[in-house]
Structure 1
Amino acid sequence: MKHIRKQPEPVEFVQWKSDFPSWNEGRVAKYDDLLNPLKNQVKDSLITEQGKICSYCGVRIHRRNTHIEHLKPQHNCTSEETVDYQNIVASCEGENRLQHCGHNKHEWYDANLFVSPLREDCEQFFTYTLNGEMEPCYDPVKGPMAAETIRQLGLDTAKMNALRKAALDGVLMMDDFSVELIDFFLQECQVPNEEGELLEFAAYLQGVLGVLRSKMV
């Protein structure tokens, strides 16, 4: 899981929420009222601020394979919270819309256990193996939170493990594999390229390559 630094929400989204009551007998806007093209504009904004990777698993995303995900599920929210830009991220659709990430999480929410990608320290909750496995850290407080978040989001499935391992193998098998190459990829995990993309599975590669680098110097 990669930390998401929220950017300002689209001006049009702010204006729509402000103007909505005047069009609807004073009722505030809720998420079900959000329609295209504005909805796609909000989704595009989320995708961009995440470096075009899923908020949870880190797979490459674009408008067609993504949905707007509520960190705090809609059924637990006030109307205002359902359109709060701080409560929404872009999640991949998962495998058959069920196996991982937002659709697997569905309506689960526990403020005491959920590790939000908006937490500045969220990356510290998880560790990774060379085989692509995602595991909770050993911290007595963070570990149980990470374990439940992994379970509820389906982030340690065989499919996800294989995808992460393949991404790592692509780096390890390069002929010029070196500390300098690791540093290049670590930079790509932190800063989007000219197309605004972070590396796919950036948090995983950052975690594993960082450990490998420490053993090489």
Structure 2
Amino acid sequence: MSGQGGKTKESIIEAAIELFTTKGFNGTTIRDIAARAKLNPANISYYFHGKQGLLEACLVSFFEAYLSLLDEEKRKIEWEDPEICLHRAIRKILVFQSDNHLLTRLVWREITIDSQVSREIISSYLMKERYYLKALTSAALGKNYSALPVSMMIIQLKGMLSTPFLNSHYVSEVWGMHPKDPYFIEKYYESVIDWIQATMNVQKSALFMEHLSSPVIKTV
């Protein structure tokens, strides 16, 4: 965004994110958003055609940036170590969500609510997310690993990446940290990578045991 119009739209989106997160979509009015952004309510109708259009703009802004990070690493698996690409993608996603913790919480909460507003716009983004995560995870696991279904690993990984931001109050109460804190992101990233490594070790062990139990074929 550039120019005065861009600054106005950014102010409206920032105010909406804060209010939608704290008061909920239904509990927030156009006047609330305009007052927080210190603008005339007519600006919201002009740029976003109402509150629903504003929520859609928030969702789009999140997923476009989020998916670009996954796409960037997915492209690199052709010439870089896929496992490094997966690790780097995870780190980028955690940092991005931390830097945009209010928007992140809003987006994942809208998905859990499964409202008509979010369902129409989010479904295609979630399909793209699944595609990128599957490509990165499958490449990191390698073609020889078949003991663990990739789809199950993606579900577990997805939960790890979103839960701290969806339940930031729990993180604060239990660990005394907030997902926006860089220290938390560093330690949490290490935990996710440890889980991935442990999962891959289980995968390798299962493959090894499968090899040992296979009947020996004798050739004459």
TM-score bracket relative to the smaller structure? under 0.3
TM-score by length of 2: 0.27
More helix by share: 2
More strand by share: 1
Task: Pick the structure with greater CA Rg.
Answer: 2
TM-score by length of 1: 0.28
